[in-house]
Amino acid sequence: MWLVVNTGSSSVKLVAFDADLAEAARVMIDRIGTGGPADHAAAMAEGLGRMGLSAGSLVAAAHRVVHGGARYTAPQRVTAEVLAGIEACVPLAPLHNPGNLTGIRAVSALVPDLPQYASFDTAFHASQAPEAVTYSLPAAERARGLRRYGFHGLSYAAIVRIMQGMFDNSQFERLLVFHLGNGVSACAIRSGRSVATTMGWSPTDGLTMGTRSGSIDPMAVLDLAERHGIDGARRILNRESGLLGLGGHSDMRALQAAGTREAAFAVDHFCHWAIRHAGSLIAAMEGLDAIVFTGGIGENDATIRARILDGLSWTGAVCRPEANRHNARMLHETHSHVMICIVPADEERQIALEARAVRESEA
């Protein structure tokens, strides 16, 4: 079995795939250290037990690592050097990479000789042109790694793979993808390669999210830091903003059920900025052939999809309302100039595929 591991600071999601990469089992363990398992190694052991797997049945473990920096632009076999490289990226992703490292170390503690692999959420965006990722900062600051990286890359890579399996590449040479969940981003993909994306140096940039602010003037960030301190500003921008800050709820379903003026405004804000950023992404790839929705909101919220598509009607995208209401895979009318699809997120299988490819290259 291939074990895919997605670790947070107090949780771990495990997904097992068989030799053909068909999903065999999945489990989520949370409250690690706070009423649940004592630590991540104990959580890993509990998860394998709940899935009915023994350590000896595992071929390898494959991990999602959020930030690979400029160095890791492809999946890697985890070595001491790679582990140190992931650790060096902790300042770039302080909310994510420490948990990813904990997951790798937990597997090592449980099954010391098991091969481990890492796939990076930033890697898919390494194909972007220098002018698309460079901030106009002094050279010394750019040399420290201050640049756009982009995230949700494993989700986008999986969508490209799935679309290539469903259609001829010419049908979606220029692909606009909305990854809409608690974390929100959009990506312009041309000929299977990332051209531009909304997240930047961190996952806080871009569209309105569940609790993250999205794009904000840097001088406003400095104002927050002056008033609340660095840690306070970080907390506000990442934990107290977005839909929560605007409408009182971070969950889109709760906002739509709230019936308040503030909640309605939060939904309006979410859709406005999705449409506005989409225009920039379409310009970056010089046109549009297909629109894809993924993520919890993207796959399940017909109202949000309809509002975004209405705002993009100038592209020639025409949605079938009935198909949209039923979350059908294909949403466009026959006369639409743009294909419109829902593609369920498939990040875990993408990670397993990437790990297997690296393992086969080692043979």
Q: Please write the tens of the pLDDT for every residue from 61-101.
A: 999 999 999 999 999 999 999 999 999 998 888 878 988 99
Taking only the tens place, the pLDDT of each residue in 221-259 is: 999 999 999 999 999 999 999 999 999 999 999 999 999
Tell which of 89, 120, 151 closes a domain: 120
Of 291, 287, 285, the residue nearest 306 (C-alpha): 291
Question: Are residue 251 and residue 312 in the same domain, yes or no?
Answer: yes
The residue-averaged pLDDT of 130-145 equals 96
Q: How many structural domains comprise the chain?
A: 2
Strands of the sheet containing 193-197, edge to edge, are 193-197, 184-190, 174-180, 290-294, 339-342
Say what the pLDDT of residue 216 is: 97
Residue 173 burial (C-beta neighbours within 10 Å; 0-12, 13-18, 19+): middle
CA distance 180 to 178: 6
**324 and 207 in one domain?**
yes
Q: What is the mean pLDDT of residues 269-288?
A: 98
Mean pLDDT across the stretch 301-308? 98
CA 29/CA 12 separation, integer angstroms: 5
Q: Return the biggest CA–CA distance within the chain.
A: 60
Same-domain check for residues 326 and 178:
yes
Beta carbons of 14 and 27 less than 8 angstroms apart: yes
Does 318 lie in the same domain as 172? yes
pLDDT band at 188 (very low <50, low <70, confident <90, very high): very high
173 and 114 both lie in a single domain: no
Question: What's the DSSP call for residue 317?
Answer: -
Share of the chain above pLDDT 70, in %: 100
How sure is the predictor about 60, in pLDDT bands with cuts at 50, 70 and 90? very high
The pLDDT of residue 32 is 87
Predicted confidence at residue 8, as pLDDT, reads 78
**Same domain? 260 vs 180:** yes
Q: Rounded to an integer, what distance in angstroms lies between the CA atom of residue 43 and that of residue 49?
A: 10
Domain boundary pick from 87, 120, 153: 120
Please name the residues in contact with 137: beta carbons below 8 A apart, sequence gap of 6 or more.
146
- Joined together, the tokens standing for residue 137 give 């900062």
Give tens-digit pLDDT for 4-18. 999 876 788 999 999
**Helix, strand, coil percentages, rounded to 5, for the chain:** 45, 20, 35
The parent domain of residue 252 ranges over 167-347
Whether residues 213 and 321 share a domain: the answer is: yes
Q: 10 Å Cβ neighbour count for 140? A: 8
Residue 71 lies in a domain: yes
- In the DSSP assignment, the letter for residue 147 is B
For residues 306 and 102, which has the higher predicted lDDT (pLDDT)? 306
CATH of the domain at 250: 3.30.420.40
Interacting residues of 93 by C-beta distance below 8 A, sequence separation 6+: 66, 67, 202, 203
Active-site residue, from 121, 289, 301, 346 = 121
Sheet holding 116-120, edge to edge: 23-29, 12-17, 2-7, 60-65, 116-120, 76-77
Please tell me the predicted confidence (pLDDT) of residue 57: 93
pLDDT tens, position by position, 192-231: 999 999 999 999 999 999 999 999 999 999 999 999 999 9
The token pair that represents 244 in the structure block: 């929560």
142 located within any domain: no
Residue 121 annotated in active site: yes
Q: Are residues 42 and 172 in the same domain?
A: no
Three-state DSSP class for residue 275: helix
Instruction: Output the DSSP codes for 17-60.
Output: E-TT--EEEEEEE--TTTTS-SSHHHHHHHHHHHHT--GGG-SE
Which pLDDT belongs to residue 40? Answer: 85
302 belongs to a structural domain: yes
Q: Is 363 exposed, middle or buried (0-12, 13-18, 19+ CB in 10 A)?
A: exposed
Task: Clarify whether residues 217 and 312 are in a common domain.
Answer: yes
Over residues 36-47, the mean pLDDT reads 88
Q: What is the pLDDT of residues 327-347, one digit of tens each?
A: 999 999 999 999 999 999 999
Query: Is residue 352 one of the residues assigned to a domain?
Result: no
Tokens of 196: 């531009």
**Per-residue confidence band for 150, with pLDDT thresholds at 50, 70 and 90:** very high
Residues 73, 205 within the same domain: no
pTM: 0.95
Look at residue 114 and tell me if it is in a domain: yes
Give residue 34's pLDDT band: very low, low, confident or very high (50, 70, 90): confident
Whether residue 183 sits in one domain with residue 282: yes
Same-domain status, 46 and 184: no
How far is it, in rounded angstroms, from Cα 29 to Cα 90?
23
Per the model's pLDDT, the better-predicted residue between 354 and 7 turns out to be: 354
